[in-house]
Amino acid sequence: MQTAAVSEASIWWLSQGWFLLGGALLVIAASLSLRQWGDSLIRAYRPQRLTLGSPDELVPPTGALRRFTPGVVRIFSNAPMLAGLVITGFLLVAFVVPGVLAPYGPEETGKTLQLIRGKITARPFPPSPPYPMGTDMRGRDLLSRILFGTRQTLTICLAVAALRLAIGIILGGISGWKGGMIGQQILSLGTVSASIPSLLFAFVFILAIGPSHGFGVFLLGLGLTGWAELTNTINAAVRWVKSQRYIEGALAIGSTPGHIARRHLLPNIMPQLLPAVSLEISAVLLTLGELGFLGIFIGETFYGYVPQTIRTLTSTEWAGMLAGTRLSLFQWPWLPLSPALAFLVAILGLNLLAMGLRTYLDPMQSRLRN
């Protein structure tokens, strides 16, 4: 049975597998153009009691003007926030109800031979109208598998980020509030932890214990490093809040520590905390992808005769899809590139969200240009 060669470069470059990346760039461009519109919206909401020095419409709305504008309106003048919200919203939908977005089921295989772009083609099928991101060796649609895998991938990321956040809040809070000797020791512990690249640590840790133990190994391997930056951020934020007069006042009227933490500390470190959490999730995603590329992932495979005897993945996790596809690059480039693009889009979305949140939550700060 003779089959046509499918891995022509032109097909790949022009294929529709790029629509995820293209869509992300389109969202960014659209929100950049929407910014003008958002600025005029903010001006429309300008309360009459605020009179600015000059009615110069070219000056972007900053400071007090931004502070008195409703939050929903301010999102529209914040391009990164808008783009990040769209991408993370998409991820969230895929997290909760992947079946709504996915064209096929995660384990659904079509016919063995199909007519694609006028050629009779064997599995794996290249990116083409029936399969937007191509299929794997068993003929399962990669886009559907990526969408169904969002839940598994993001669950790991959120768990690891939660562990890092817990470590960061405890250590950063103590070092920021107490300061002194303990604070210095904690910060230098963070410096030591930061000097170990988290990919190296995770790699050695997970291989030493064995990746077959599953979720827990990955949680610890990824979560025990990488908290240093978060600790430093929280430490600086807490130190800044502690030096404010309202904390002095709260202490003077005899507020309990719990009350101070809830009423004063937490709301005031939020503008630093929320973007840091978003960045942390994306950092975990990146490390997870690199581990998967090296062949370490959560999930099971079995060896079976498909066209030849090959490894088949039974879970739909992105890192697993990336694993072992290195040498398929020249023959079937969509096998490694499709999950890698999914990683890029998710990381891009989370970082844009962080960038937008930083501007959005800090009304005193002048808006970010670009």
Partner 1 sequence: MFVLVSFFSFAALDQPVLRQLYTSLAMVGTSSVSLFHFLTNFSEVGDRLANVGLAYLRSMVLLLLSVALGSGMGLLLGFAAGMRPNSPQATAVSAVSFVGVLTPSFLTSLFVMLAFVRYISPAVGIRFILLSPSVSVFDFRRLLAPAIVLAVRPLAYVTQVTIGALQEVIYTDHVRTARAKGLPPRVVLSRHVLRNVALPVLTSINSSFYFSLSSLLVVEWLFNWSGIGLQLLEAVSKRDAETASYLLVSVGLTMLLINTAVKIAMRHIDPRVAESESVIS
Nearer to partner 1, 110 or 211 (CB): 211
Nearer to partner 1, 12 or 125 (CB): 12
Nearer to partner 1, 79 or 265 (CB): 79
Least separation in angstroms between residue 79's CB and partner 1 is 10
Tell me the three state secondary structure of residue 325.
coil
Nearer to partner 1, 65 or 83 (CB): 83
**Is residue 187 involved in binding partner 1 (CB under 8 A)?**
no
Nearer to partner 1, 83 or 269 (CB): 83
Helix (H) or strand (E) holding 126: none
**Is residue 294 involved in binding partner 1 (CB under 8 A)?**
yes
- Segment contacting partner 1 (CB under 8 A): 37-45, 116-124, 136-144, 215-223? 215-223
Question: Cβ(201)–Cβ(194) under 8 Å?
Answer: no
- Segment contacting partner 1 (CB under 8 A): 46-54, 115-123, 163-171, 205-213? 205-213
Q: What distance in Å separates the CA atoms of residue 43 and residue 102, rounded to the nearest whole number?
A: 41
Least separation in angstroms between residue 139's CB and partner 1 is 23
Question: Cβ(107)–Cβ(101) under 8 Å?
Answer: no
Question: Cβ(17)–Cβ(132) under 8 Å?
Answer: yes
Are β-strands 119-122 and 113-116 bridged in parallel, bridged antiparallel, or unpaired?
antiparallel
**Which residues have C-beta within 8 Å of that of residue 282, sequence separation ≥ 6?**
346, 347, 350, 351, 354
Torsional sign, CA 361, 366, 367, 370: negative
Contact letters for partner 1, residues 316-345 (x by CB under 8 A):
------x---x--xx--x--xx--xx-xx-
Whose structure tokens read 């600015």? 52
Tell me the three state secondary structure of residue 306.
coil
Q: Please work out the total of residues on this chain that contact partner 1, with binding judged by CB under 8 A.
A: 42
Residues in contact with partner 1 by CB under 8 A are 9, 28, 32, 195-200, 203-204, 207-210, 213, 216-217, 219-220, 282, 286, 289-290, 293-294, 322, 326, 329-330, 333, 336-337, 340-341, 343-344, 347-348, 351, 369-370
